[in-house]
Chains A and B, each alone.
Chain A
Amino acid sequence: MKYEEKMFVSGNEAVALGVCLSRPHVISAYPITPQTVVVERLSELVEDGSIDADFMHVESEHSALSAAMGSSAVGARTFTATSSQGLLYMAECLHYASGGRFPIVMMNANRSLALPWSIYGDLRDSLSLLDSGWIQVYVEDAQEALDMIIQGYKIAEHKEVLTPFMVNLDGFVLTHTYELVQVPNQQEVDHFLPPFETVNKMALDAPKSLGFSSTPQDNLEFKYQQHMAMMKSIEIIEASDREFGQRFGRTYGGMVDAYKCEDADAVLITLGSITGTARIVIDQLREEGLKVGLFKIRYMRPFPVNEIRELGRKVKAIGVLDKDISFGYEGTIFTNVNSALVGPDSPKVTMNFVGGFGGRNISKAEIAKMFHDLLFAMKGKPYDRVNFVNLGVKTNEIRK
């Protein structure tokens, strides 16, 4: 660790700092709550000359990502940011960007989806776009947000990956809260993240036809290639985490971050900032003598299937906390975890805890109750597969 500077910043500002240090050529973004501050800070940094980039004013999120693809297609390092309705408005372009293999980095502030209209956080926006071909990482705090923007470019631009990269931050809880952040030195970042070089671009001396159609004879092959690049990215993600650790002294565990799972009977799987609260609960329950652990999934795509199978072999009960739901079934993280566990690696119990929608708080007491539910289920008490957490009313089944 050399010449680092400490700054007291919000999650949004940490993202803007990460982008600044990554030296993008083009920033094309449309403001939306709770991501707005990212766009504001970046426009200021471009205005005062801190970033030598073009800031494109666009009329929508659909245009923001379309413009980002255009600049990425000529080999420019490109950034965009969005949230919620904006992410869904650019949904068409998400598939375009991944299919075109444009290594754009995007910040997404996780926010609920209408209706009912809500500006507050949950994960229903990005998780509904797991199939769009983007690498998706979920960060826990502002430091990890800053670091993952820089790593995002490293991973996305790797010649064997060339896949766009989405950094997800919980809206408000993470985007608008302040913490002390280590800001890496520019020279060190330049060593870690050299300029973007690719042959896969349009150039004046080598004009290309980009984004053409395919007949049924070739379509599957392009999609297979995309899938294999995403699978390959697992190796690159882990290498990037190690190299970042050597250079800046911070590692995050690669695909996942396990906390006190070694001897645990019951483990809760989380994404994003709720993990911080859950860590405190683990410490409290450990003091009471309960063998509980926490397992943070960092990457939803590519999915940490090997890590989850290994966890399944070690523990007796796995709970999955989903701030999202696929109506008519269950939480999407739960579905993904269970599919990894199919076969001999499955623990005795898997339970889904669904809640925290539209900014609803999930308290330490509620997380502790999840562990108690898991431990009871483990001992043979009947349990429900899908459990809504902290409903504010009684359900009608028990109406008298």
Chain B
Amino acid sequence: MIKPTLRNYKRPVYITDYPTGPNCESGHLVDKNSGWRTFRPTINLDLCKGCLRCYLLCPDGVIFKSNSKVDVDYDFCKGCGICAHECKFKAITMTKEDKE
């Protein structure tokens, strides 16, 4: 699985530490966004047929192939639920995140 490169965002100290206008080097993220999630997709591997519909439709590209079925990169899944909605075999269920 190809995961986005995470790089720590160093807070600027001087104004010249900022780029000229809002731009930066491409190809990395500064934060995981698992914290955005209210509901978490869980894949029932007994029901999953490995059709890859969810893999194709995930807007964030966080579903990946795993042993001829699929798995989720929970670091970057935002919990939108499209995978569960689209699964023809009801193999994906959304469960409330336990946030403390």
Contacts and interface: CB of A to CB of B under 8 A. Distances in A.
A222 B22 contact: yes
B interface residue count range (under 10 / 10 to 19 / 20 to 34 / 35 or more): 10 to 19
B1 interface: no
Judged by DSSP, the binding face of B is loop
Interface stretch (B24-32, B43-51, B60-68, B70-78): B24-32
Contact of B20 (A101, A209, A213, A214): A101
Given A221-B15, A224-B15, A228-B15, A207 B27 contact: yes
A208 B26 contact: yes
Nearest to B23: A210
A162 to B, nearest CB: 6
Contacts of A210: 22-23
Interface in B10-45: 12, 15, 18-27
B12 A221 contact: yes
B58 to A, nearest CB: 21
A206 B26 CA distance: 8
A interface residue count range (under 10 / 10 to 19 / 20 to 34 / 35 or more): 20 to 34
A284 interface: no
Contacts of B23: 100, 200, 208-212
B18 A225 contact: yes
A34 interface: no
Interface in A190-243: 200, 206-214, 218, 221-222, 224-225, 228
Of the listed residues B12, B18, B22, B25, the one surrounded by the most CB atoms of chain A closer than 10 A to its CB is B22
A203 to B, nearest CB: 11
A85 B33 CA distance: 42
Contacts of B22: 99-100, 210-214, 222
6 contacts: A162-B20, A200-B23, A207-B27, A209-B23, A212-B23, A224-B15
Across chains A and B, which 4 residue pairs bring their CB atoms closest together, nearest first? A101-B21, A207-B26, A210-B23, A200-B20
